[in-house]
A and B are shown apart, each in its own frame.
Chain A
Amino acid sequence: MEKEPGPDAVFAAKLAEGVFEIQKCGSCGTHVFHPRVICPACGSANLEWVTPSGKATVYARTVVRRKPERGGDYNVVLVDLEEGVRMMSRVDGVAHDEIAAGLKVIASIGEGADGQSAVVFRPEGGAG
């Protein structure tokens, strides 16, 4: 009986310990996110965990508009990691209206909506 946890559980466990890793295909070299059982580029199950550089570029951004009494505005972005994978996240440490496609950002571990560990980003060089 297979007892190894699946890639979602492995990712979540690493993240809970403050470690952000993505997968890389040992067969074709493609980086993979979100975590998967097989490589979406070549179908290989030979996926290994690697540490990304954390460098990324904002691809698109939206600001969800909420009244202050409901928690106020917040941003949601799609970022492209240097390794070539895209993920949804949030950019902290800068005004929402200053976030735009092309902004260079760096990953860190922050808090998600329910207080769980989540990968978030800040502008490169600590701007804002």
Chain B
Amino acid sequence: MSLRGKAAIVGAALAGCGEAHGKSAMEITVEAVQGALADAGVSLCDVDAIATCQPLDMLSGLTLAQELGLNPRFAMNNRMGGSSFLSHTLWAATLLELRLADTVLIAYGSNQRTASGKLMTALGLPTYEAPYRPMFPLSSYALAADRHMTQFGTTREQLADVAVAARAWAQKNPEAFVRNPLTREDVIASRRVSDPLRLRDCCLVTDGGGALVMRRAETAKDHPRPPVYLLGGGEGTTHRDISEMPDLTVTGAVQSGAAAMEMAGVRPSDIDVVELYDAFTINVILFLEDLGFCRKGEGGAFVESGGIAPGGHLPVNTNGGGLSCVHPGMYGIFTLVEAVRQLRGEAGDRQIDSAELALAHGNGGVLSSQVTNILGTEATL
């Protein structure tokens, strides 16, 4: 049995992106839920399964049910970091297809910027890494970037070009948090944090939330907006701690991408728009390679000089990404919301012409969990 095209996203919304003064993570989450339900034309009482993951609340699935006044058949709380929401969609489709649920709500919210000004996480340093004081999670990604540069000759300029492309997209997105111009030189001149990564290689620290409503394909057209169908999905988990990652230049996106594309029956060259979890600039290079958009080691050349910027050969992170649009700590759900907007043709100045197929990809931990979703319009069924 395949999940291809069996379920669809019928509602999507963001809330509290940027700064949401005086609001808790759960309050931002509930605002996003309100938006997604309104977008879907679904009443709260119809929701019979929920999935969430919150920065600090280990039982957030239960908290969300409580805040919404729901007694859901399933309260999912599976937690793999920022990739969690792209896994939630796969479980949602599974519950829908098995008729264990009829309307699934996926939601997230975080107030890390206004509450703490930095990454808010319940995680501590791993036992066998703590004595050496790596910055969490930044140094793990810095080590991956260093290895990629050593092994493939990826350059400092190529890393910078990922951030420059994100900013160029953000300038087309009125909802993006940072929209002032950014050049390659600006990135390379920004403060060193954990070599080779500099400040502008790092995602933003913002507040923000997002929510999605999913239903079975057979009822997906009963809603106000065009359905966005889940065509394929896959996961890859290679480690928890960076010191246990088998090869720092190859992520679990090899596995998750291949599984998602096989289920969807598509190839990388079929994809119109790509939304990747860009916690750091190196992520985009790694994921483009591992998902098959270019060969291993050629990601640097792929992104160089506007390759993924507006007008480039592949539109990547059209909202401005975690680097320039929004990054409340677990960015995965924003890849899905932006993919939905692109496939509905709602993306304004940044809209990709005739976008029919989108790839959304989430990263969790320190390159540890990779989850890929392929989404499509009705024409792709």
Q: CB distance B131 to A113 under 8 Å?
A: yes
Which of A8, A34, A62, A74 gathers the greatest number of chain B CB atoms within 10 Å? A62
Q: Are B146 and A101 in contact (CB under 8 A)?
A: yes
Within A36-83, which residues are at the interface with B (CB < 8 Å)? 59-65, 74, 76, 78
| A112 B195 Cβ-Cβ under 8 A | no
With most chain A CB atoms within 10 A of its CB, the pick from B142, B150, B194, B243 is: B243
With a cutoff of 8 Å between Cβ atoms, the chain B residues found around residue A65 in the complex are 191-195
B102 CB, nearest partner CB in chain A, Å: 41
Contact indicator A113/B132 (Cβ below 8 Å): yes
- Which among B122-130, B216-224, B296-304 touches the partner chain? B122-130
> In the bound complex, do residue A74 and residue B128 qualify as a contact, i.e. CB atoms below 8 Å apart?
no
| CB-defined contacts of B144 to chain A, threshold 8 Å | 60
The answer to whether A88 touches B142 (Cβ under 8 A) is no
Question: How far apart are the CA atoms of A64 and B192 in the complex, in Å?
Answer: 8
Does B147 count as interface, using CB distance less than 8 angstroms?
A: yes
Measured CB to CB, the closest approach of chain B to A121, in angstroms, equals 11
Which B residues lie within 8 Å of A113 (CB)? 130-133
B314 to chain A, nearest CB (A): 28
Q: Are A60 and B147 in contact (CB under 8 A)?
A: yes
Q: Mark B126-168, 1 if CB is under 8 A from A, else 0.
A: 0111111111000100111011001100000000000000000
Instruction: Tell me whether A90 is interfacial, beta carbon within 8 Å.
Output: yes
Q: Decide if B243 touches A62 in the complex (CB within 8 Å).
A: no
Chain B contacts of A100 at CB under 8 A?
A: 150
Given contacts A76-B134, A76-B143, A88-B134, are A60 and B129 in contact (CB under 8 A)?
A: no
Task: Indicate if B248 sits at the interface (CB-CB under 8 A).
Answer: yes
Q: Identify which of residues 1-15 in chain A touch chain B, using a CB-to-CB cut-off of 8 Å.
A: 8
Of the listed residues B132, B151, B192, the one surrounded by the most CB atoms of chain A closer than 10 A to its CB is B132
Question: Is the beta-carbon distance between A88 and B128 smaller than 8 angstroms?
Answer: yes
Residue of A nearest to B133 (CB): A113
Is A108 positioned at the interface, with any CB of B under 8 Å from its CB? no
Q: Name A60's contact: one of B127, B131, B150, B193 (CB within 8 Å).
A: B150
User: What is the minimal beta-carbon distance from A8 to any residue of chain B, in angstroms?
Assistant: 7
A33 to B244, CA, bound (A): 9
CB contact between B195 and one of A34, A62, A78, A102 (< 8 Å): that residue: A62
Residues of B within 8 A of A63 (CB): 192, 194-195
**Shortest beta-carbon distance, A14 to chain B, in Å?**
14
For residue B277, give the distance in angstroms from its CB to the closest CB of chain A: 21
- B340 CB-CB contact with A under 8 Å: no
Q: Is the CB of A88 within 8 A of B243?
A: yes
B248 to chain A, nearest CB (A): 6
Q: Which residue of B lies closest to A33 (CB)?
A: B128
A60 to B151, CA, bound (A): 10
Pairwise interchain contact B131-A101, C-beta atoms closer than 8 A: no
Q: A60-B143, A60-B248, A61-B146 provided; 11 other pairs, C-beta below 8 A? A: A8-B127, A60-B146, A61-B143, A63-B194, A65-B194, A76-B139, A86-B244, A87-B128, A90-B132, A101-B150, A112-B132
Residues of A bordering B, CB below 8 Å: 8, 33-34, 59-65, 74, 76, 78, 86-90, 100-102, 112-114, 116, 118
B interface residues with partner A (beta carbon < 8 Å):
127-135, 139, 142-144, 146-147, 150-151, 191-197, 242-244, 248
The 7 nearest A-B residue pairs measured at CB: A112-B131, A118-B131, A62-B142, A60-B147, A88-B243, A60-B143, A65-B192
Instruction: Supply 20 A–B pairs (Cβ within 8 Å), ascending by A.
Output: A8-B127, A33-B128, A34-B128, A34-B243, A60-B144, A60-B248, A62-B134, A62-B196, A63-B194, A63-B195, A64-B139, A65-B193, A74-B133, A76-B194, A88-B134, A88-B243, A90-B132, A101-B146, A113-B131, A118-B131
